[in-house]
Amino acid sequence: MLGITELFSSVLLEINTVVGNLGLTLILFTLALRAALLPLTVPSIKAQGKMRQIQPELSKLQKKFGKNKQKLQKKQFELYKKHNVNPLAGCVPQIIQLGILIVLFRALTTFLTPDNLGSTSRFLWLDLARPDSSFILPVLAGASQFILALMIAPGGEIRDTVPNKSKSKQVQQANRQEEGMAQMAAMMQKQSIYVLPIVTVFFSTQFPAGLALYWVVTTVFSIGQQYVLSGPGGITVYTQRARHWLGSKYFNAPR
Amino acid sequence: MSRLITLIITVYQGLFNVKTTLLVSVFGVSYHCRHQPSCSVYVRRQIEQNGTIVGLWRGCVRVFSCW
Q: How many CA atoms lie within 13 A of B40 on its CB side?
A: 21
Q: With helix as H, strand as E and coil as C, how does A131-167 read?
A: CCCCCHHHHHHHHHHHHHHHHHHHHHCCCCCCCCCCC
CA gap A95, A45 in Å, rounded = 18
Q: How many domains does chain A have?
A: 1
Alpha-carbon distance B20 to nearest alpha carbon in chain A (angstroms): 8
**Residue of chain B nearest A220, judged by CA positions:** B25
Least confident span in A34-43, A90-99, A169-178: A169-178
Q: With a cut of 70, say whether residue A252 has pLDDT above it.
A: no
Mean pLDDT of chain A: 79
CB A148 within 8 A of CB B21: yes
What is the per-residue burial (b if ≥16 Cβ within 10 Å, else e) of B18-33?
A: bbbbbbbbbbbbbbbb
**Residue of chain B nearest A174, judged by CA positions:** B48
Residue A171 banded pLDDT, cuts 50, 70, 90: low
- Cβ neighbourhood burial of A180 (10 Å; 0-12, 13-18, 19+): exposed
CA gap A215, A210 in Å, rounded = 9
For residue A179, the Cα-to-chain-centroid distance in whole angstroms is: 26
Question: Inter-chain contact A188–B14, Cβ cutoff 8 Å?
Answer: yes
Helices vs. strands in chain B: H and E counts, helices first: 4, 0
Closest to A34 (Cα-Cα) out of A19, A50, A18, A45 = A45
| Confidence at residue A172, expressed as pLDDT on a 0 to 100 scale | 65
Mean pLDDT of chain B: 84
**Residue of chain B nearest A43, judged by CA positions:** B29
Q: Which residues contact A198 (CB under 8 A, 6 or more apart)?
A: A142
Interface confidence, given as ipTM, is: 0.82
Q: CA-CA distances (angstroms) from residue A61 to A57, A66, A71, A124, B45?
A: 6, 7, 10, 57, 20
How many degrees, rounded to 5, is the angle at CA A36 between CA A32 and CA A40? 145
Q: How many CA atoms lie within 13 A of A80 on its CB side?
A: 21
Residue A159 banded pLDDT, cuts 50, 70, 90: very low
Question: Inter-chain contact B19–A89, Cβ cutoff 8 Å?
Answer: no
Q: Identify whether A50 is part of a domain.
A: yes
Q: With a cut of 60, say whether residue A115 has pLDDT above it.
A: yes
Residue A169 vs residue A228, higher pLDDT? A228
**Option in A40, A80, A218 nearest B29 (CB):** A40
Alpha-carbon distance A23 to nearest alpha carbon in chain B (angstroms): 18
Q: Kindly state the helix (H) or strand (E) to which residue B5 belongs, with its residue range.
A: helix B2-14
Residue A140 banded pLDDT, cuts 50, 70, 90: very high
Q: With a cut of 60, say whether residue A161 has pLDDT above it.
A: no
Q: Identify whether A233 is part of a domain.
A: no
- Cβ neighbourhood burial of B66 (10 Å; 0-12, 13-18, 19+): middle
Work out the average pLDDT over A196-212: 91
| Confidence at residue A173, expressed as pLDDT on a 0 to 100 scale | 66
CA gap A241, A238 in Å, rounded = 5
Q: Identify whether A27 is part of a domain.
A: yes
Q: How many CA atoms lie within 13 A of A90 on its CB side?
A: 12
Residue B57 banded pLDDT, cuts 50, 70, 90: very high
> CB contact, 8 Å: B23 with chain A?
yes
Residue A163 banded pLDDT, cuts 50, 70, 90: very low
Task: Write the pLDDT tens digit of every residue in A173-188.
Answer: 666 666 777 777 777 7
Task: Write the pLDDT tens digit of every residue in A54-83.
Answer: 777 877 887 787 777 677 777 877 887 777
Residue A154 banded pLDDT, cuts 50, 70, 90: low
Q: For chain B, what are the domain ranges?
A: 2-64
Work out the average pLDDT over A31-43: 83
Closest to A226 (Cα-Cα) out of A53, A5, A33, A49 = A49
Residue B43 vs residue A167, higher pLDDT? B43
Residue A162 banded pLDDT, cuts 50, 70, 90: very low
Work out the average pLDDT over A190-201: 88
Q: With helix as H, strand as E and coil as C, how does A57-79 read?
A: HHHHHHHHHCCCHHHHHHHHHHH
Q: Report which residue type is found at A201.
A: V
CA gap A121, A108 in Å, rounded = 13
Q: With a cut of 70, say whether residue A253 has pLDDT above it.
A: no
Residue A249 vs residue A29, higher pLDDT? A29
Residue B26 vs residue A90, higher pLDDT? B26
Q: With a cut of 80, say whether residue A215 has pLDDT above it.
A: yes
- Chain B residues with CB under 8 Å of A152 CB are 20-21, 24, 30
Q: Structural domain of residue A4, as residue ranges?
A: 1-121
| Confidence at residue A166, expressed as pLDDT on a 0 to 100 scale | 56
